[in-house]
Chain A
Amino acid sequence: MGKTMSSNAFTPGVVPARLDGDDYAAQFSDLHPRLDAHEALVAADRCYFCHDAPCITACPTDIDIPLFIRQIATGTPDAAAKTILSQNIMGGMCARVCPTEQLCEEACVREAAEGKPVLIGQLQRYATDHLQEQGIHPFSRAAATGKTVAVVGAGPAGLSCAHRLAMLGHDVVVYDARPKAGGLNEYGIATYKTVDGYAQSEVDWLLQIGGIEIRTDVALGSGVSLAQLRKDHDAVFLGIGLGGVNAMDVSGADKSGVLDAVDFIADLRQASDVAQVPVGRDVVVIGGGMTAIDAAVQAKLLGALNVTLVYRRGRDRMNASVFEQDLAASRGVRIVTHAVPSAVIGNGAVREIEFDYVRDDMTPTGDTLRLAADQVFKAIGQTLVGEELPALDGRKIKVSGAGRTSLEHVWAGGDCASGGDDLTVTAVAEGRDAAMDIHQALTGATA
C-alpha cells in the first residue's frame, strides 16, 4: 500500500522529493507546448490581417503582428521571426511569458468576435523557435562608431539595449550581479514557462550579434561604481531591476520557513534536479502578482498538499492576469482574497499564519483566518536597491523620454525605471528605445 519513499504529499515539514521521480518531468513540462507546423497554419489562418491592427497597438514593442502571421501562413516562418525580432529582440521569451491575454490577444478582433483570439503568442514562439533553432541570427552590426556603452543589468531591458547598441556599431559591456545573464528571464520566471534552458539559449543567440561583453558577478557598489562607469564609457544604461523585496511587517515574520517567493522561484530555475528543492506540506503564498502565482503553482507542482494564495484585495485587483489566476486554480491552488497577514505563529519555524479579513478600503471586518503553514512565501513586491543612483520618482529611477535620467549620459529602463508595467516585454521596449536615444546622443544620428 504505502510508498516506500521517504516523503510524500502528507509528510509534514519542508522536504524534498514528495513525488515519484518520474512525475517531475511531467509536472514541470512546457505550459504551452510549441505549435507544430500544421497547428501553426491553422492558427495563422484565423488572422484577419486587420487594418492598423489593434494587436500592434497593444504590444509594448509594436510588433507587426498581422504581417508576421501572414508570413507564417505563407510558409516563411523565418521571415516572420525577423519581423518579430526586429522590434523585439527577446520575442522568443516574450512569446512564452507575455500576458498576451492582457495585451495583443485581448485586443485581437476575434476576441471581440467570438471570444477566441488568434493565438498570437504561440505563433510568435513558432516563428522565433523556427529561426533560432537553426542558429540563425538575422542582424549584423553597423560600422564601428568607436563609442562604448556600459549596460548594468543583463535582464530583458539591458540585453535589449545592448543588442540594439551593438547593432548600431557601439561596443557594449554588460555587467550583472548574478552568475548568469538573463535577469528575471533566468531567475524570476516559473520553470514551466521557459523549459529546456531557453533563457540561456536566447542570451547566447542574442550575443551572436557581437560587440557585447558580459561581465557577471559585478553589481553597482560591488565591483563597479556608477561614477567609474560614467568615466569609462560614453554612456551608461541602468537596467538593474528591483533587487530587493518588500518586508512583511508582522510579528513572527522572521521565523524559519518564511521565505521570499523570488528566491524559491530562482532556486527552482537553477536546480539541476527540481525534486531536490524542498517544499512544505502546507504552503501559504502572500501576494497577488505573477510572482505569487509562479510560486504557488510551483509549490503545488512539487507535491505540496495544500497551497493557499492569500491576497489583500479582490481578484479584480490582482496583478496576475485572469489566465494566471485560473492556471493556479486549475493546479489546485486555493485563492483567498481580502485578507492581510497579522501574525506568524510557530516555535522557531512557522507552524501557522493568521490573517485579518479586510474590506476593499483595507479596514478590518473583524473576521480572521488561521492557516496551517510550514512554508510561507512572501510575494508582496520588490524594491529598487543600489547606491548613487540617479534621482528617483517615488521608489523607481525617474526617467523622461526614452529612459533619460537626472544624470547626464545615464539612461534607465525596465523594472527599475518609472513608468510602464513591470513586464518583460515592456523592459525590452524600454531598453530598445533607450538604445536608439543613446545612439542619437552619441552620434547625432536620428535613426
Chain B
Amino acid sequence: MADLTSDFVGIKSPNPFWLASAPPTDKEYNVRRAFDAGWGGVVWKTLGLDPHVVNVNGPRYGAIYGADRRLLGLNNIELITDRPLQTNLDEIKVVKRDYPDRAMIVSLMVPCEEEPWKFILPKVEETGADGVELNFGCPHGMSERGMGSAVGQVPEYIEMVTRWVKANTRMPVIVKLTPNITDIRKPAEAALKGGADAVSLINTINSITSVDLDLFAPEPTIDGKGAHGGYCGPAVKPIALNMVAEIARTPDLGQIPISGIGGITTWRDAAEFMALGAGNVQVCTAAMTYGFKIVQEMISGLSDYMDSKGLTSVDQIVGRAVPNVTDWQHLNLNYVAKAKINQDLCISCGRCFAACEDTSHQAIAMSEDRAFTVIDDECVACNLCVNVCPVEDCITMEAMTPGMVDPRTGKVVEPEYANWTTHPNNPAAKAAE
C-alpha cells in the first residue's frame, strides 16, 4: 500500500483527505466519528464572535438530482457555527488531544477589523490546533454582514485581513476563496501578498436550486420566501478544477499551496484535484450524502492507483497535470481525430445519431437495421457522440496518423504542431520566421 501521509504547509495528516469546514465538522461528536472513520484531518466549522449567530428553523438545503435521485448538487443557507465560541474551543482542544496525528484546522470568520482577529487567534492557538483557515467564501447570510464572500470578493480586504492574521499568530494560515468572482487569480494573488501560507478553494457558488411551482418560491423555502444559497457537490467539480488549475499554472502566484475543494466524491476526484495542483483535498457534500465511511474508499482507491502507477508519495501526484493545462490558442490544430463506434459494444440506442444529426455535424449514419457508423467525411471529432453514448468506451476518438488524408478537409494530416497563433486565418498571426 502506498504511503498516503500528507504534509500540507507543515501540517501533517495520515492521508490527504480532510473534511471541509461545514456541518460535518460542527462539533466534537461528529469530528470524533470522522477521525474514527479514517479522515486525515478536519477544518472545524467556522468560529465567530459571541453572541453566536442563529440559523433559520426551516430547510437549510436544496438539492439537484441525477438519475435514481442521485444527489448531484447541494445548496445550503446554513451560517457559521451557532454555538458559543468557548464551547467550540473546548471541544477542539480535547479532540486534538485525543487525535494528535490528525490535522486540526480551525475556520474563522470575524468582522473586518484587526481587533477581533487579535482576540480570537490566541484562543485558537491555545487549543493546540494545527492551523487556521480564513473563511472569505461563504456567499450567503454572513456576506450580508460584511464577512465571508463580501471580503473574498475584494482582493484588498483579503490582503489586509491575511496580513493581520499572519501578524497575530504563529499558526499556518490558509485563505479560503470564493468562486463568486470573475478571475480567481486576483484573490489568490491578494492572499499571497498578505502572507498566506496556502489558499483553499472553492467555497460554494451563489445558487437557487429550484423553484416551487405551486408556491412560486425558490427552494429551499422558508415560510414562502427563499434566499440564494451556496452550491456544492459533484455538479461544481468542473468549476473548482478549473479554478485550482488557473492558480496552479500562474507563475506569478509562486506555486502557492492549494487545498482543493469542490464536489470531491471519490478517490479519483481527489487525485484529479491533486494532479491539477492541490496539495490535499477537502470533502463535504460526499460525506453529507453518504456519511464518513466514504473515506475508506478514498484511501483504498488512491493507494491502489498510486501502486499501479509506481508512485510512493502523494507529492508525486501533485501538479503533474498542470503543465498540460494551456490556453486554447496553444492547442495543436494539426491534431485530427475521428469518432469510431465499436459495433460489438453498440446497443443501438441511437442517441449518438440523434445528437449528431439534430445538433451537430450529421456525421453518423443509421442503417435500416439500426447499425450506427461514423461518416468520416463529416466528423469533426467534437466528442458529443462519446458524451451522450450510454455505453462506456463504445465510441472512441481515434487520432489520425500524420500522412493520412482527412476525408472531411481533403488535407494531409501534418506531423508538425501548429496552433492558432500562427494560423493564416488569425488576423493577429505572427509571420513565420
| Chain A positions near chain B (C-beta within 8 angstroms) | 41-42, 45-46, 48-54, 109-110, 112-113
Task: Tell me, yes or no, whether B69 is within 8 Å of chain A by CB.
Answer: yes
Instruction: Contact check, B68 vs A51: say whether CB atoms are below 8 A apart.
Output: no
B68, B348, B354, B391, most chain A CB atoms within 10 A: B348
CB distance B67 to A109 under 8 Å? no
Q: In the complex the two chains form, is B348's CB within 8 Å of A112's CB?
A: yes
List residues of chain A with CB within 8 A of the CB of B351: 48-51
**Complex-state Cα separation, A42 to B348, whole angstroms:** 22
How many Å lie between the Cα of A41 and that of B391 in the bound state?
21
A42, A48, A51: the one contacting B353 at CB < 8 Å is A51
Cα of A354 to Cα of B227 in the assembled complex, Å = 81
B residues 135-151 near A (Cβ < 8 Å) are: none
Top 6 nearest A-B pairs (CB, nearest first) are A51-B350, A51-B354, A45-B67, A109-B347, A50-B349, A109-B349
**B390 is an interface residue with CB less than 8 A from chain A:** yes
Query: In the complex, A109→B352 CA distance in Å?
Result: 14
**Besides A50-B349, A54-B348, 16 other A-B contacts (C-beta < 8 A):** A41-B68, A42-B68, A46-B67, A48-B349, A50-B350, A51-B350, A51-B351, A51-B366, A52-B350, A54-B370, A109-B347, A109-B348, A109-B349, A110-B347, A112-B348, A113-B347
A53 / chain B contacts, CB cutoff of 8 Å: 350
- A51 to B372: give the CA distance in the assembly, Å: 11
Question: Which positions in B face A, CB cutoff 8 Å?
Answer: 67-69, 347-351, 353-354, 366, 370, 390-391
Q: Most chain-B CB neighbours within 10 Å: which of A54, A112, A113?
A: A113
When distances are taken between beta carbons in the complex, the residues of chain A under 8 Å from B366 are 51-52
Chain B hits for A49, CB < 8 A: 351
Smallest Cβ distance from B371 to chain A, in angstroms?
12
Are A113 and B390 CB-contacts (below 8 A) given A48-B349, A48-B351, A54-B370? yes
B348 cross-chain contacts in A, Cβ below 8 A = 50, 54, 109, 112
Name the distance in Å between B364's Cβ and chain A's nearest Cβ.
10
CA distance A45 to B366 in the complex (A): 25
**Chain A to chain B contacts (Cβ below 8 Å), 29 pairs:** A41-B68, A41-B69, A42-B68, A42-B69, A45-B67, A45-B68, A46-B67, A48-B349, A48-B351, A49-B351, A50-B348, A50-B350, A50-B351, A51-B349, A51-B350, A51-B351, A51-B353, A52-B350, A52-B370, A53-B350, A54-B348, A54-B370, A109-B349, A110-B347, A112-B347, A112-B348, A113-B347, A113-B390, A113-B391
Bound: A321/B218 CA distance, A: 51
The residue on A at minimum CB distance from B348 is: A109
Residues of B within 8 Å of A48, CB to CB, are 349, 351, 390
Report chain B residues within 8 Å CB of A51. Answer: 349-351, 353-354, 366
How far apart sit A50 and B69, CA to CA, in the bound complex (Å)? 21
Separation of A109 and B67 alpha carbons in the complex (Å): 17
Q: A111 — nearest CB in chain B belongs to which residue?
A: B347
B390 to chain A: closest residue by CB: A48
CB distance from A118 to the nearest CB of B (A): 11
Give the complex CA separation of A256 and B391 in angstroms: 59
Task: Return chain B residues, CB-CB under 8 Å to A46.
Answer: 67
- Most chain A CB within 10 A, of B69, B349, B391, is at B349
How far is A53 from B348 in the complex, measured between Cα atoms in Å?
Answer: 9
The complex places the Cα of A404 from the Cα of B414 at a distance, in Å, of 66
Q: How many Å from the CB of A114 to the closest CB on chain B?
A: 9
B352 to chain A, nearest CB (A): 8
CA distance A70 to B370 in the complex (A): 22
- Distance to closest chain A CB from B80 (angstroms): 36
Chain A residues with Cβ under 8 A from B349's Cβ? 48, 50-51, 109
Instruction: Give Cα distance in the complex from A113 to B347, angstroms.
Output: 6
**What's the nearest-Cβ distance from chain A to residue B295, in Å?**
28
Question: What's the least CB distance linking B318 to chain A, in Å?
Answer: 38
Which of B347, B351, B353, B354 gathers most chain A CB within 10 Å?
A: B347
With a cutoff of 8 Å between Cβ atoms, the chain A residues found around residue B69 in the complex are 41-42
Return A202 CB to nearest CB of chain B, in Å. 31
A120 vs B372: C-alpha distance in the bound complex, in angstroms?
A: 24
Residue among A46, A50, A51 with max Cβ neighbours from chain B (10 Å): A51
Nearest CB on A from B110, distance (A) = 45
**Can you name the residue of chain B whose Cβ is closest to the Cβ of A46?**
B67
Closest B residue to A41 by CB, please name it: B69
CB distance from A99 to the nearest CB of B (A): 22
User: Which residue of the partner chain A has the closest CB to B69?
Assistant: A41
B350 partner residues in chain A, CB cutoff 8 A: 50-53
How far, in angstroms, from A46 to B69 measured CA to CA in the complex? 12
Which residue of B has the minimal Cβ distance to A110?
B347
Contacts of B390 in A (CB 8 A): 48, 113
B100 shortest CB reach to chain A, Å: 46
Q: In the bound complex, what is the Cα–Cα distance between A48 and B351 (angstroms)?
A: 8
Closest residue on chain A to residue B66 by CB atoms: A45
**A269 shortest CB reach to chain B, Å:** 38
In the bound complex, CA of A42 to CA of B70 (Å): 10
CB-CB under 8 A from B67, the residues of chain A are 45-46
Cα–Cα, bound, A89→B353 (Å): 32
